[in-house]
């Protein structure tokens, strides 16, 4: 079971696969050294595939250094992190796990290898720890497989762990619909029952509350912060100026017909500007697509009559079910299947979540998710300069609008449709496999090579 705490992770921008994942992998490597930590005098990190091609723009080097220093994505202070990186670069020193100082020269010890093939996953990184004699103490290769999930490369099958199991295990949309018919439970209730079966109710509820709160706070920060986004493209934050124009129109009683749509776009832009700046966001299911679910959730909270806290929780739980299906049966990694696996999946999740929050039955929830992805099939991942800015920020706004449209279409129907969610997920996986690698988060194709920097 992919838990709500796994799919919705609190972390920092700009990328779940290139920032959150590598930070987690680096931290896991250091913890795995155990008593050997005191023998380490040097650590080398090699970045391969997409991590090498777009790692500089995605802050991968900084993320790895923070992980080696003992920081974790859900607890690191984004502001303090910048100061920590500055000290490492200035003094050429890093304290492993915050307690064992070594010499570390980023330009020597963090290697962006754009030539070596990645046999298991396009987001691969290797860690090597050396002792005073220059001998290898430990060498590990990790894969950042999207959404902040990390695994050891060629990892052995996980051992069976005794413990509580989920009463309603599902691996497909058909499973979800069947369970609903057999039990009378709606999809949010199926997920909630599973969550409560494997971890304390208080822990589950607290995480859902934290996810919602972090999403709303992220929107609010984005709506109140101005400036230029880092990375060299000189992209100016525009959420604040957009909000001012909307408030001026409201004061003049001159709202355009597109006002609701404009505000949803604004919410998504606010989140993704925060993400691009390295701020606190929630993977939903990734950082590059972090604005879609919060924008649609905010739409539900602020603009849907009868919205409630219970509805917002149902939103998150239903979205989790859909995101889990994509994670299990396809991918949520832009480096593996293109942006259809990020913004496309986020749109599908948000559409299902909104339908669930508005009281839709399971058939309509599944239909909303299917519509959301169907119209993102084939979307490439081509970030300009390897930064999660162009076209990523606006792309989230369009994903949010599509999600609302998908939920609306599904709820106006009776739940029957020709193409099932499972078939769309399979199609997305096949499309990603057929997509050329230059269109999968390498910045070697699409907009990334058709943009002239001035």
The matching CATH number, chosen from 2.160.20, 2.30.30, 1.10.10, 1.10.4100, for 173-197+199-439 is 1.10.4100
High-pLDDT (> 90) share of the chain, %: 94
- Name the 3-class secondary structure at 139: strand
Q: Do 15-158 and 173-197+199-439 share a fold? A: no
The 10 Å Cβ neighbour count of residue 43 is 25
H-helix or E-strand containing 345? helix 343-357
Residues 6+ apart with CB under 8 A from 266: 223, 239, 242, 243, 246, 397
In the predicted model, is pLDDT for residue 246 greater than 80? yes
In terms of Cα–Cα distance, which of 34, 10, 12, 28 is closest to 207? 10
Segments making up each domain of the chain, as ranges: 15-158, 173-197+199-439
Q: Cα–Cα distances in Å, from 12 out to 352, 430, 441?
A: 25, 31, 19
Please identify, in words, the CATH class of the domain defined by 15-158.
Answer: alpha beta
Per-residue confidence (pLDDT) for residue 159, from 0 to 100: 37
In the predicted model, is pLDDT for residue 321 greater than 70? yes
Per-residue confidence (pLDDT) for residue 267, from 0 to 100: 98
What's the rounded mean pLDDT across residues 29-35?
96
Structure-derived torsion over alpha carbons of residues 328, 333, 337, 341, reported in degrees to the nearest 10: 70
In terms of Cα–Cα distance, which of 225, 202, 315, 333 is closest to 276? 225
Per-residue confidence (pLDDT) for residue 293, from 0 to 100: 98
The pTM of this model reads: 0.92
């Amino acid at each position: 079971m992919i838990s709500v705490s796994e799919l919705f992770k609190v972390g920092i921008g700009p990328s779940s696969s290139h920032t959150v994942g590598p930070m987690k992998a680096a931290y896991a490597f250091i913890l795995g050294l155990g008593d050997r930590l005191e023998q380490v005098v040097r650590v080398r990190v090699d970045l391969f595939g997409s991590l090498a091609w777009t790692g500089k723009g995605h802050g991968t080097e900084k993320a790895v250094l923070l992980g080696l220093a003992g920081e974790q994505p859900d607890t690191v202070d984004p502001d303090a992190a910048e100061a920590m990186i500055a000290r490492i670069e200035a003094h050429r020193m890093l304290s492993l796990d915050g307690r064992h100082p070594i010499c570390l020269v980023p330009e020597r010890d963090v290697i962006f290898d754009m030539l070596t093939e990645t046999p298991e996953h396009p987001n691969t990184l290797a860690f090597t720890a050396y002792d005073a004699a220059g001998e290898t103490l430990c060498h590990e290769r990790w894969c950042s497989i999207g959404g902040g999930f990390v695994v050891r490369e060629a990892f052995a099958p996980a051992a069976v762990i005794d413990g509580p199991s989920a009463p309603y295990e599902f691996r497909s949309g058909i499973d979800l619909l069947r369970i609903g018919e057999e039990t009378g439970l709606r999809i949010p209730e199926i997920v909630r029952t599973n969550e409560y079966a494997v971890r304390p109710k208080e822990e589950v509820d607290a995480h859902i509350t934290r996810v919602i709160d972090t999403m709303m706070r992220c929107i609010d920060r984005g709506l109140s912060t101005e400036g230029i986004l880092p990375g060299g493209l000189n992209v100016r934050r525009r959420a604040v100026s957009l909000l001012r124009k909307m408030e001026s129109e409201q004061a003049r009683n001159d709202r355009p017909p597109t006002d609701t749509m404009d505000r949803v776009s604004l919410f998504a832009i606010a989140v993704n500007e925060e993400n691009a700046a390295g701020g606190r966001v929630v993977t939903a299911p990734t950082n590059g697509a972090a604005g879609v679910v919060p924008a649609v959730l905010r739409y539900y909270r602020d603009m849907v009559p009868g919205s409630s806290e219970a509805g917002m929780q149902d939103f998150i739980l239903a979205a989790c079910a859909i995101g889990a299906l994509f994670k299990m049966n396809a991918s949520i990694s832009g480096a593996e299947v293109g942006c259809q696996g990020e913004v496309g999946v986020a749109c599908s999740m948000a559409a299902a979540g909104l339908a669930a929050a508005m009281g839709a039955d399971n058939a309509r929830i599944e239909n909303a998710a299917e519509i959301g992805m169907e119209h993102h099939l084939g979307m490439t991942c081509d970030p300009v300069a390897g930064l999660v800015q162009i076209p990523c920020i606006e792309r989230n706004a369009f994903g949010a609008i599509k999600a609302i449209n998908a939920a609306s279409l599904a709820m106006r129907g009776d739940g029957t449709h020709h193409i099932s969610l499972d078939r769309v997920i399979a199609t997305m996986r096949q499309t990603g496999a057929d997509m050329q690698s230059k269109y999968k988060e390498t910045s070697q194709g699409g907009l990334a090579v058709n943009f002239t920097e001035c």
